[in-house]
Every structure is written in C-alpha cells, then in structure tokens.
Amino acid sequence: MKIFRTANKIFEFKKLSILENKIIGFVPTMGALHQGHLALVRQAKKESDYCIVSIFVNPKQFNNIDDYNNYPKSIEKDISLLKECNCDILYLPENNDIYGNYQGYKMDFEGLDNVLEGKYRTGHFQGVVDVVYRLFDIIKPDKSYFGIKDYQQLLIIKKMIKQAGFNIEIVECPIVREKSGLAMSSRNMRLSEKQKNNAAKIYEIIRNKKFSIDDNPKQIENQISQEINNIPDLKTEYVIFCEQDSLNQAYQFEKNNGVMLCVAVYCDKVRLIDNFFYVFK
C-alpha cells in the first residue's frame, strides 16, 4: 500500500498513467478504523481496480471542540488494517493540504442541513461538504463509498455531486454492527464495556418497536425516547421518523411507503447516532 501525504503526490501518481482506464474506488474516513469502515474498503476493492482510502480528521465538521480534541486516533493500527484489506493507496493529508488554498464549496442544501444532525450540529454538514468536495477534486474517483449509518450525510453528498457536476457513483453501504447490535463507530472506543452494553439497547429498542400504520408517529417517537432514556447512561437528543428521500418529518405513516427512524443519543458524554428503516406492508 502506498501512503501519500500531499495532493501533489496523488497528482504525480495519476500522471504515471497507471490509473488510465482504471476504475478508482474511494473511501473517505476520519480514521480510528473499525469493521464498518473496512466493509466499505472491501466493497471498493471488489468493485474497482484501484482502492484509495483517505484518513483526515476534518476540523471543519466538528461543532464541539472537545469532540474534535477527543476524537480517537489509531493511525498505526489503521495502516495495518488497510494493508490487510489490500487497500492500494492511503491518502493521509495535513490540514494545509486540504484547506491551504481552498475556502470550501458552497452548495444549496435545499433544507437538508436544517433537520436532524444539521439542527443539533450547526455547521457540521458545511464542513463535511467542504472536505468531501476537496477530496473528490483531488482524487477524482469513479465510485465513492459511504455508510448508511450517516444517512443524512449520504443524501447531502449525493446532492452535492449533482450540483458540482462530479461524475462519481455514490455506493451506499449497510450499517455494520457489533454482535450486540450497537452500530460500529469510532466514538465507541470512548465507551466502557458497561456503557457499550447499555448503548446496544438503542438498536434493540428501535428494531423491536411494535407499532401499526394507524399510530401517530409523534407518540411512537416519545415512547421510543422514553424507553431509551430508561437505560442507564443514555439520553436521547432526538428520535424522529422522517421520509426517506427528503428527511421531512413524517406526521403519519403510509402504506407501501417506508419510513426512516433517525436517533441521536448521548451515552454519558459520547454522542451516538443510528437509524432504522421500517416498511409497512
């Protein structure tokens, strides 16, 4: 696996024409890699000739300085995990390589940044778009792989691609979970075993929640929120049913139409997100 620390190194490598007519699959990450990330890398590897992974903890997408400072880092382990997956190139830029000469990308979020994560993490998605635009511009991949775990991010990146005119296929990858059901996340490293067991109840509750099409979504949201808040260490920030494409809040359930439940939950000081898609038959 080659490790490049500057965009120039990537440009030089691309000039060597090794990548001519080759499909480049790209996985952007913030490191502290786990099996969720590696599932994206394996899929990229399967579907493309060259797999490029980036690791960059993007300061612009953190609305909370403590969260940024405490973001887990395990670069040596990340490198060996990526080698095991036969990743071809790791792009490991410094802040200046991304933002030195670049102010960011202005897009029309068409409201997608006002709800859910956008509502509670001001400026988060602008930061995500800024870094992903720059990474796409440097790497110019054919395909890029994103996890459904960050579902709102996925929709925003798809919108950005259309607006910016990038010719990149976005591949959506399912949520990888621990055996306990807890959605894998780099932030889980900051949880004790006991807290992880408690946090695993989030998925158990949302997956097993029984309700019918005639129920009022708001009431079900409140019940789910209460059930989660009854678990030690857990405190919900939001529990919201929304339409799958627009993320507009669902005020009623509809037959043959799926509905997405999105949750953000603090486990002690660690903020976790998860989601679950329900279909009424």
Q: How many C-beta atoms surround the C-beta of residue 34 within 10 A?
A: 19
**Member of 45, 121, 124, 149 binding ligand AMP (CB under 6 A):** 149
**Active site includes 37?**
yes
Binding mask 241-270 for ligand AMP (x = CB under 6 A): ------------------------------
- In the complex with ligand AMP, which residue's Cβ is closer, 223 or 244? 244
Q: In what order do the strands lie in the sheet with 143-147?
A: 2-4, 89-91, 50-55, 24-29, 143-147, 169-173
Nearest distance from residue 32's CB to ligand AMP, in Å? 7
Based on its alpha-carbon atoms, the radius of gyration of the chain, rounded to whole angstroms, reads 19
Q: Can you spell out the DSSP letters for 134-149?
A: HHHHHH--SEEEEEGG
Does 175 participate in binding ligand AMP (rule CB under 6 A)? Answer: yes
Q: What are phi and psi of 179, to 5 degrees?
A: -55, -35
**Member of 24, 40, 239, 273 binding ligand AMP (CB under 6 A):** 40
Does 29 participate in binding ligand AMP (rule CB under 6 A)? Answer: yes
Q: Which one of 110-118, 182-190, 199-207, 238-246 is the stretch in contact with ligand AMP (CB under 6 A)? A: 182-190
- Tracing tokens 């792989």 back to the chain, one arrives at 145
Does 150 participate in binding ligand AMP (rule CB under 6 A)? Answer: yes
Angle made by CA atoms 222, 152, 150, in degrees to the nearest 5: 90
Q: Which one of 32-40, 91-99, 130-138, 227-235 is the stretch in contact with ligand AMP (CB under 6 A)? A: 32-40
- Given the residues 34, 37, 42, 187, the one annotated as active site: 37
Nearest distance from residue 214's CB to ligand AMP, in Å? 33
- In the complex with ligand AMP, which residue's Cβ is closer, 58 or 198? 58
* DSSP at 162: H
- Total number of residues that touch ligand AMP (CB under 6 A): 17
Please, is 281 exposed, middle or buried when counting C-beta atoms within 10 Å of its C-beta (0-12, 13-18, 19+)? exposed
**Member of 185, 198, 225, 275 binding ligand AMP (CB under 6 A):** 185
Q: Which one of 95-103, 107-115, 171-179, 263-271 is the stretch in contact with ligand AMP (CB under 6 A)? A: 171-179
| Orientation angle between helical segments 151-164 and 124-139, nearest 10 degrees | 50
* DSSP at 33: -
Does 176 participate in binding ligand AMP (rule CB under 6 A)? Answer: yes
Q: What burial letters (b/e) apply to 241-273, b meaning 16+ CB within 10 Å?
A: bbeeeebeebeebeeeeebbbbbbbebeebbbb
- In the complex with ligand AMP, which residue's Cβ is closer, 89 or 173? 173
- Of 112, 69, 117, nearest to 274 (Cα)? 117
Does 30 participate in binding ligand AMP (rule CB under 6 A)? Answer: yes
Residues involved in catalysis: 37
- Sites of contact with ligand AMP (CB under 6 A): 29-30, 36-37, 39-40, 146-147, 149-150, 173, 175-176, 183-186
